[in-house]
Amino acid sequence: MTIPSTLYIGLMSGTSMDGVDGMLADFAGNAIVSLAAAFVPFPPALRAALMGLQSWGENEIEREAIAANDLAACYAECVEALLPAAPGPIRAIAVHGQTIRHRPDLGFTRQTNNPALLAELTGIDVIADFRSRDIAARGQGAPLVPAFHMAQFGQPGRTRAVVNIGGIANISVLHADGRVGGFDTGPGNVLMDGWIARHLGRDYDADGAWAASGTLNHGLLEALLDEPYFTMPAPKSTGRDLFHMDWLDLRLKGSPALPPADVQATLTELTALTIARAIHAEAAQVDAVYVCGGGAYNGTLLRALAAALGGKTIVESTAVLGVAPNRVEALAFAWLGYRFNLREAGNLPAVTGAQGPRVLGALYPA
């Protein structure tokens, strides 16, 4: 009898839309062992196409289908980069897809992808569409990573917060007694990236240097914090459907003209403060906060987060726990693929609000 492989590849392309992160992992004996990582940047045309699908537009069904095919080719390239490090056959590729709509309030979420094409290109089983099952069970479909965060980073007797700062930020609070709480806190990098792209033509604010050159504007900060999402009770999730440049521009209209660097400084504080408030709402005290996603490389943002938490809480990258910040989400989806093949639940109803535990994903056999 052949023993099924325990090797999985996880692929993640998030709301920052810079490219696809891939992780090769081994789950033998229910352990989580990272074997290799890869990153494939999106070609400019694909990134532009995906950005264009974030809101309604002409002929968007055809444009989405073409973008999905191009996205599958990027995914296949990432898989190819990982295969030389595999000590055996890959059981499955677990792929998130690219979110272009997230409307749990309307009962749907849309991660564009062509998993059938990816299976054809790679000759490997593909597991995709992880969020829809949770939404069908009346959940938010997000965040899905808290269950993995507990499996990878949880420590009995200690309360930890894991913060993923991609385009959108989300928290997982891993309580000392084994409970897990979490939700999307609001904008992560999405507004900061959009603002620096508009004014300096850069994709992101490296280490938060531009924000550090500006001055926080409290009037603008209060206008931004007036968004009802921030005070909504959990479970809740959000995305570019709410937080986008038009959202920012509307709030800037009510403020005096500000130096662009001051706006960047204020957007950085918005991200830090909403994350800190969310953590404190979930747990009165945490032993440490560990940050992953692109925001973990923004020193100005991390210092702002530490200050917003009161200045006494440890704030560090997940690298100190053994997983580089830019690899956590891809590893999480590899783990969700592993859970799918075991037919074990991948969601946490306490986080997403689903009616119960559900097996997440859909299989596209090679």
Angle made by CA atoms 296, 84, 10, in degrees to the nearest 5: 45
At 305-329, the pLDDT tens digits run: 999 999 999 999 999 999 999 999 9
Residues 171 and 149: their CA atoms lie apart, in Å, by 10
Tokens 């992101």 locate to: 204
Residues 121 and 199: their CA atoms lie apart, in Å, by 40
Concatenated DSSP letters of 93-131: EEE--EEEEEEGGGTEEEEE--HHHHHHHHSS-EEE--S
Q: What is the pLDDT of residue 229?
A: 98
Angle made by CA atoms 309, 181, 101, in degrees to the nearest 5: 95
Q: What is the pLDDT of residue 177?
A: 95
Q: What is the largest CA-CA distance in the chain?
A: 72
**pLDDT tens sequence for the chain (366 residues):** 567 899 999 999 988 889 999 999 999 999 999 999 999 999 999 999 999 998 888 999 999 999 999 999 999 999 999 999 999 999 999 999 999 999 999 999 999 999 999 999 999 999 999 999 999 999 999 999 999 999 999 999 999 999 999 999 999 999 999 999 999 999 999 999 999 999 999 999 999 999 999 999 999 999 999 999 999 999 999 999 999 999 999 999 977 889 999 999 999 999 999 999 999 999 989 999 999 999 999 999 999 999 999 999 999 999 999 999 999 999 999 999 999 999 999 999 999 999 999 999 999 999
Residues 141 and 259: their CA atoms lie apart, in Å, by 38
Q: What is the pLDDT of residue 109?
A: 95
CB 360 within 8 A of CB 142: no
Phi/psi at 71 (nearest 5 deg)?
-65, -40
Q: What is the pLDDT of residue 57?
A: 86
What's the gap between Cα 265 and its chain centre? 23
Q: What is the pLDDT of residue 254?
A: 72
Q: Model-level pTM?
A: 0.95
**Domains contained in the chain, CATH given:** 7-142+327-364 (3.30.420.40), 146-321 (3.30.420.40)
Helix axes 260-282, 190-200, angle to 10 degrees: 170
Residues 176 and 159: their CA atoms lie apart, in Å, by 5
Q: What is the pLDDT of residue 133?
A: 97
Q: What is the pLDDT of residue 1?
A: 58
Q: What is the pLDDT of residue 255?
A: 74
Tokens of 318: 């997940």
Cis status, amide bond into 143, omega within 30 of 0: yes
